[in-house]
Amino acid sequence: MFSSFRAALLLLTASLAGTAFSDSRPAADLIIRNARIWTVNLKQPEAEALAVLHGRIVSVGSDSSVLLWRGAGTHVVDAKGKRLLPGFNDAHVHFSEGGASLAAVQLTDASSLKEFVQRIADYASHTPKGDWIRNGEWDETKWNPQELPTRQDIDPVTPNNPVALDRYDGHLLLVNSQVLALAGITSATPDPPGGVIVRDAAGRPTGALKDAATELVARVVPPLTLAQRRLALKAALREAAQRGVTSVQDMTLNYGDLSAYSQLLDQGKLTVRVYAAPPVSEVEDQAQLGIGHAFGSPSLRIGALKMFADGSLGSRTAYFVEPYSDEPNNRGLLFSDMLPLSRAEQRLIRADGANLQLCTHAIGDAAITTVLDLYQTVEKNDGPRDRRWRIEHAQHMAAADFERFAQLHVIASVQPYQAIDDGRWAEARIGHERASRTYAFKTFLDHGVRLAFGTDWPVAPLDPMLTLYAATTRATLDGKNPQGWFPAQRLSIQEAIAAYTLGSAYAEFQEHEKGSIEPGKLADMVLLDQDVLSIDAKTIRDTQVLKTWLGGVEIYDSRLGN
């Protein structure tokens, strides 16, 4: 891989050569000209051309200045005045799950319980007997009435298959009676710490399992083979390339996925850059290796850990100071990673002592405050340094905690699409006042907090255009807030792109390697068919990717569909 040092050396050589440099400089591998480049580099925000050598950008500027890098073997692309951006860096995905979901039963847009059951029946009809039916990503808030499905709904259409279907937020699982039996879950089974077994009026399990209760099923689900993981990742790689996503930060990574990533990298087939965060329960693995954060190559790195503080608003397991407005006896729950808090603190201290990065899922205000308290305790014990702690989602904030984010230099790793999705029903669950501090992107920026954008795919679509649309419009998916749900939290398109590129790079200690188009950085880029910086924000979601490059190598061309 072409090093930053060598790129810098080339640039120094260029500056020393002056006007004679056209004869002495090495020829670029790739030149993109006649483009409208938004660089995300404040020192040179716009340009019309760039040159790439050995995977890195060596020149950014006018057509005339960049074309001096042209040689006999240079591939020149005429962008025809289209908008070019840095490749998108999704700061929070579940990549293999996303890939697997593309071939799984599709339930997200089922508009009723009847349609939900029919889709499962159709899928089961061509699924071999005994094979598990998984994923699904269903959403009961699109149904009338909005009631959780039960095993009785799906048992009749899945007599030959174990079924474990995720709610789209990943914090609630629906299983059929066959799986309850395999897991040994009965009326007598107690709720595990940090989880809920949903029961009917008679105390019998309905088949719905919340948060840590899903782990009772995870023990009996057969693990994916390496071949299955590779297939899922290949599907995910295709989806990422056609969406202009050139980097992903894979949360709660399974080590089997890490092995599959490594194989794909060795074969030259890993067409996205990966920063992987295994669960915090695996802290000793990385601590004993002594690798520290961001260890590895530009293509595949580890050094982060993912911890859960609570559940989700959709499953009513996000942890709040005050009860849910529509469930006055429910404040949500702390996840098992946080129980007891003394163990969570020790894990954080161990991780911090090994210079590992912490990425903690926290959604409710009480969960966010609890995580900030833990972070503050660790910093007080070990002293300040560049930790880049993260809170994933950071959805429903207590007013006082925006300033604490800033003081502790905590990154808000957020998913704007979820704002326009949850905005359909969030106020019914937590009321208007709390909702006013929900997905508060602008308030974060006003407090000097760094934002990193992601999708949480497959919880939400991987498409960056939907994320940019959500951040700039906040128009909820039900069409009821065309001017924006809490419109004061809308971002400019420039702010949104920066959070999705340089902000995400910063969140993985890679802001000097990628995230903007400037000399010395990796040549990861995306060409769009519309100028998202000038069109009406409402039409951003219709924008399509024309080309995607990774390290200057074209990995997607819309004309070819590759």
Binning pLDDT at 50, 70 and 90, where does residue 224 land?
A: confident
Per-residue pLDDT, 18: 35
pLDDT at 279 over 90: yes
Tens digit of each residue's pLDDT (9 = 90 or more) over 314-338: 999 999 999 999 999 999 999 999 9
Across-strand partners of 522?
56
The stretch 234-247 carries a mean pLDDT of 98
The mean pLDDT of the chain is 94
Q: What is the pLDDT of residues 87-136, one digit of tens each?
A: 999 999 999 999 999 989 999 999 999 999 999 999 999 999 999 999 99
Residue 332 zone, left/alpha/beta (φ > 0; ψ -120 to 50; rest)? left
- The Cα–Cα gap between 378 and 18 comes to 52
20 pLDDT above the threshold of 70: no
- pLDDT at residue 9, rounded to an integer: 44
Domains present along the chain, CATH in parentheses: 1-81+517-562 (2.30.40.10), 103-218 (3.10.310.70)
pLDDT, average across residues 386-408: 98
Average pLDDT over residues 343-366: 97
Over residues 38-97, the pLDDT tens digits come to 999 999 999 999 999 999 999 999 999 999 999 999 999 999 999 999 999 999 999 999
What is the pLDDT at residue 561? 67
Distance, C-alpha 506 to centroid of its chain: 14
Query: What gap in Å lies between CA 447 and CA 244, rounded to an integer?
Result: 30
User: Residues 62-66: contacts with CB within 8 Å, 24+ apart?
Assistant: 63/33, 63/34, 66/31, 66/33
DSSP tally for the chain: helices H, then strands E:
20, 25
- 452: Cα separation from own chain's centroid: 9
Q: What is the mean pLDDT of residues 163-185?
A: 95
Q: How far apart are the first and last CA of the chain?
A: 24
Q: What is the pLDDT of residue 252?
A: 80
* pLDDT above 50 (res 22): no
- pTM for this predicted structure: 0.90
Q: What is the pLDDT of residue 23?
A: 52
Given a contact cutoff of 8 angstroms between Cβ atoms, the answer to whether 537 and 99 are in contact is: no
pLDDT given at position 25 = 76
Instruction: In whole angstroms, give the CA distance from residue 377 to residue 460.
Output: 33
